[in-house]
């Protein structure tokens, strides 16, 4: 049996401020670091061996993974991939979610956040929050740097990487840890749980709570569950 462990990064500074973060490289809060360490403790408690680790190219995911590794006392060897980045929120990037609800209405903001194929207006390339102006993305092909994304766009970015680089590792009882973001994990779950375009909008991904997905030798899901039962969310399909 192989295990896929999906962890959304711990609380970030902009999570705390309720701002649309997307591809901006924002670090963890003190509470986010504690969530990351708690994830490591939960994984250590079930005595699971991590064979491969992946994170996005964003500091909040990278530092979450480093803290998990440190807590579990395992080597900091992992793969960073921009394809696992959070969804890009376009012109909403950096704005406060509650203020935007007042300006545009709660229904519209919910539509931007959770609809399958609706995306916000693009972010200007002159904006300091645009990926072309952020140092960490200097080696990512400019043609791959988005101005805005829908959840469908994020899915189409994440899934090829998942299938080619992560799913292929889930063989011979190997275990894979992926630390990413709400929407990139949502994209993976849509694929694994066979969720339609309506159900995926209902899937909530808590920060810093390992989701364990167990596969049989045919790569079929046997079961899945969150390790921290007090902070678990409904997985819809299970």
Q: What residues act catalytically? A: 9, 86
Q: 187 and 159 in contact (C-beta within 8 Å)?
A: yes
Helix or strand or coil: residue 21? Answer: coil
Torsion 177-22-202-102 (CA) sign: positive
Residue partners of 66: CB distance under 8 A and separation at least 6: 76
Residue showing tokens 């840890």 = 177
Residues contacting 104, CB < 8 A, separation 6+: none
CB-based contacts of 237, cutoff 8 Å, min separation 6: 193, 194, 195, 199
Look at residue 70 and give its three-state secondary structure: helix
219's tokens: 């790569």
């Amino acid at each position: 049996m192989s295990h896929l462990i999906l962890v959304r990064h711990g609380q970030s500074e902009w999570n705390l401020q309720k701002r649309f973060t997307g591809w901006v490289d924002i670090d963890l809060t003190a509470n986010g670091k504690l969530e990351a360490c708690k994830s490591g403790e939960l994984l250590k408690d079930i005595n699971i061996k991590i064979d491969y680790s992946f994170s996005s190219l964003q500091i909040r995911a990278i530092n979450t993974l480093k803290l998990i590794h440190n807590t579990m006392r395992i080597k900091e060897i992992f793969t960073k991939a921009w394809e696992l980045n959070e969804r890009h929120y376009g012109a909403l990037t950096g704005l406060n979610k509650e203020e935007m609800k007042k300006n545009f209405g709660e229904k519209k903001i919910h539509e931007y956040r959770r609809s399958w194929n609706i995306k916000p207006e693009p972010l200007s390339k002159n904006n300091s929050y645009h990926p072309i102006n952020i140092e960490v993305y200097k080696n990512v092909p400019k043609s791959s740097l988005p101005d805005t994304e829908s959840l469908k766009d994020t899915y189409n970015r994440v899934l090829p990487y998942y299938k080619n680089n992560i799913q292929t590792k889930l063989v011979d009882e190997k275990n894979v840890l992926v630390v990413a973001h709400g929407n990139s994990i949502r994209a993976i779950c849509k694929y694994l749980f066979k969720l339609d375009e309506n159900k995926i909008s209902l899937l909530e991904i808590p920060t810093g709570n390992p989701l364990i997905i167990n596969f049989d030798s045919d790569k079929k899901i046997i079961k899945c569950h969150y390790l921290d039962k007090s902070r678990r969310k409904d997985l819809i399909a299970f």
